[in-house]
């Protein structure tokens, strides 16, 4: 079990929050961040590095303070179940068959604003997270991740969580103010967050109950043609779009409209509930669900 306040980056990594943008041009910041992250995070993909270096530049430009601890490495057996309870911030959980261990990485961000840097750093120092491996009934393990902060102004704080594991089973995430991405899960997904996009993309057939609830964020649900489900999708103020290259849809509701879609895929009985506001829901039943770029416009 890991239970500790997060500490500052090691000297081989670089944080830019204290540097005015005029002193450190954005291009140089991105290059340095990319180099530092590459040295510190071998489990990361090139896309991870590019995104994270962009975050470092953006956070510095917005006078945010931020800090990343060295990744935690865990030896796990079989497909891992993951449960995350994050008080605020984005969560990424994915399977990567090239890694041999499970990695957990947490990045803290504070946004108290210009002139309150000392308070921001103090808030970062008090932030806590735990990572616990517990046995599952029937075999396998569950990784439990919890974050919290005693700071009275926790609305100025967030935790960005990345989990990479050789094989991923079920996923449960509770967060706020942040998107959630789940890639290559083999089991059911239960996600609730706010103000963030959610992606669930897996090459494994999904035949169990699935729940994705967010607000002010898009939802992309991408699965193979062998998947099943009773789909109940609604976006208040947004729209619902679907594309099925394989499988069979049976509409359940004559009231299906641009913002609501209720139908059965492949005679399934497992509920698939997708809810958001103001942004689109995209459902894609395709041969290669994970083969997609960082921006999705159509299912």
The pLDDT tens digits for 66-95 are 677 889 999 999 999 999 999 999 999 999
Instruction: Answer for the pair 213, 233: CB distance below 8 angstroms, yes or no.
Output: no
Is it the case that residue 36 has pLDDT exceeding 80?
A: no
* Stretch 153-165: mean pLDDT: 93
Query: What is residue 188's predicted lDDT score, i.e. its pLDDT?
Result: 98
Domain assignment present for residue 211? The answer is yes
Return the higher-pLDDT residue of 134 and 120. 134
* Stretch 10-38: mean pLDDT: 41
Is it the case that residue 4 has pLDDT exceeding 70?
A: no
Domain assignment present for residue 267? The answer is yes
Among the listed residues 79, 32, 71, the one whose alpha carbon sits nearest the alpha carbon of residue 52: 32
pLDDT band at 27 (very low <50, low <70, confident <90, very high): very low
Domain assignment present for residue 274? The answer is yes
Domain range holding 227? 197-299
Calculate the CA 80 to chain-centre distance.
16
Query: What is residue 120's predicted lDDT score, i.e. its pLDDT?
Result: 75
For 188-244, what is each residue's pLDDT tens digit? 999 999 999 999 999 999 999 999 999 999 999 999 999 999 999 999 999 999 999
Q: Does pTM surpass 0.85?
A: no
Both tokens assigned to 171: 């996923």
Query: What is residue 198's predicted lDDT score, i.e. its pLDDT?
Result: 99
Query: What is residue 184's predicted lDDT score, i.e. its pLDDT?
Result: 98
Among the listed residues 266, 242, 263, 264, the one whose alpha carbon sits nearest the alpha carbon of residue 253: 263
DSSP the chain: -EEEE--PPPTTS---TTS-TTTS-HHHHHHHHHHHHHHH-TT--HHHHHHHHHHHHHHHHTT-EEEEPPPEEE---SSEEEEEE-SSS-EEEEE-TT-SSEEEEEEEEE---TT-HHHHHHHHHH-EEEEEEEE-TTS-EEEEEEEE---TTGGGEEEEEEEEESSEEEEEEE-SSS-EEEESB-S-EEEE-SSS-EEEE-SS---S-EEEE-SSS-EEEEE-TT--EEEEEEEETS-EEEEESSS-EEE--TT-BTTEEEEEETT--SEEEEEEESS-EEEEE-S-TT---S-----
Query: What is residue 63's predicted lDDT score, i.e. its pLDDT?
Result: 56
Domain assignment present for residue 298? The answer is yes
Query: Distance (Å, rounded) from C-alpha 153 to C-alpha 120?
Result: 10
Give the pairing of strands 72-74 and 102-110. antiparallel
Query: What is residue 23's predicted lDDT score, i.e. its pLDDT?
Result: 36
Domain assignment present for residue 182? The answer is no
Domain assignment present for residue 50? The answer is no
Among the listed residues 158, 166, 198, the one whose alpha carbon sits nearest the alpha carbon of residue 185: 166
Domain assignment present for residue 223? The answer is yes
Calculate the CA 113 to chain-centre distance.
25
Query: What is residue 121's predicted lDDT score, i.e. its pLDDT?
Result: 72
Query: Distance (Å, rounded) from C-alpha 256 to C-alpha 247?
Result: 19
Domain count, the chain: 1
Query: What is residue 173's predicted lDDT score, i.e. its pLDDT?
Result: 99
For 261-296, what is each residue's pLDDT tens digit? 999 999 999 999 999 999 999 999 999 999 999 899
Query: What is residue 16's predicted lDDT score, i.e. its pLDDT?
Result: 35
Burial class of residue 43, CB neighbours in 10 A (0-12, 13-18, 19+): buried
Domain assignment present for residue 98? The answer is no
Query: Distance (Å, rounded) from C-alpha 149 to C-alpha 81?
Result: 25
Is it the case that residue 12 has pLDDT exceeding 60?
A: no
For 40-66, what is each residue's pLDDT tens digit? 556 777 777 777 667 666 666 555 576
Instruction: Answer for the pair 210, 189: CB distance below 8 angstroms, yes or no.
Output: yes
Query: What is residue 127's predicted lDDT score, i.e. its pLDDT?
Result: 86
């Amino acid at each position: 079990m890991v239970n500790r306040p997060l500490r500052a980056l090691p000297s081989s990594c670089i944080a830019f929050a204290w540097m005015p943008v005029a002193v450190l041009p954005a291009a140089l910041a991105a290059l340095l961040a990319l180099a530092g992250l590459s040295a510190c995070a071998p489990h990361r993909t090139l896309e991870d590095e590019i995104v994270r270096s962009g975050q470092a530049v953006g956070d510095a430009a917005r006078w945010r303070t931020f800090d990343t601890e060295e990744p935690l490495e865990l030896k796990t057996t079989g497909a891992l179940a993951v449960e995350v309870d994050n008080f605020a911030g984005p969560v990424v959980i994915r399977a990567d068959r090239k890694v041999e261990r499970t990695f957990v990485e947490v990045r803290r961000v504070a946004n108290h604003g210009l002139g309150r840097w000392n308070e921001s750093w103090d808030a970062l120092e008090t932030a806590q997270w735990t990572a616990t491996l517990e046995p599952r009934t029937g075999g396998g393990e569950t990784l439990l991740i919890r974050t919290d902060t005693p700071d009275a102004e926790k609305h100025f704080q967030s935790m960005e969580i990345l989990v990479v594991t050789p094989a991923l089973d079920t996923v449960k995430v509770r967060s706020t103010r942040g998107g959630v991405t789940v890639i290559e899960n083999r089991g059911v997904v239960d996600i609730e967050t706010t103000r963030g996009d959610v992606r669930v993309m897996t090459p494994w057939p999904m035949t169990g109950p699935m729940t994705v609830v967010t607000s002010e964020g898009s939802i992309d649900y991408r699965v193979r043609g062998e998947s099943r489900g009773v789909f109940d999708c609604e976006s208040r103020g947004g729209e619902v779009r679907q594309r099925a290259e394989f499988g069979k849809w049976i509409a359940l509701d004559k009231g299906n409209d641009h913002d609501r879609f209720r139908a059965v895929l492949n005679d399934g009985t497992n509920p698939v509930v997708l809810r958001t506001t103001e942004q689109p829901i995209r459902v894609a039943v395709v041969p290669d669900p994970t083969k997609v770029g960082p921006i999705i416009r159509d299912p």
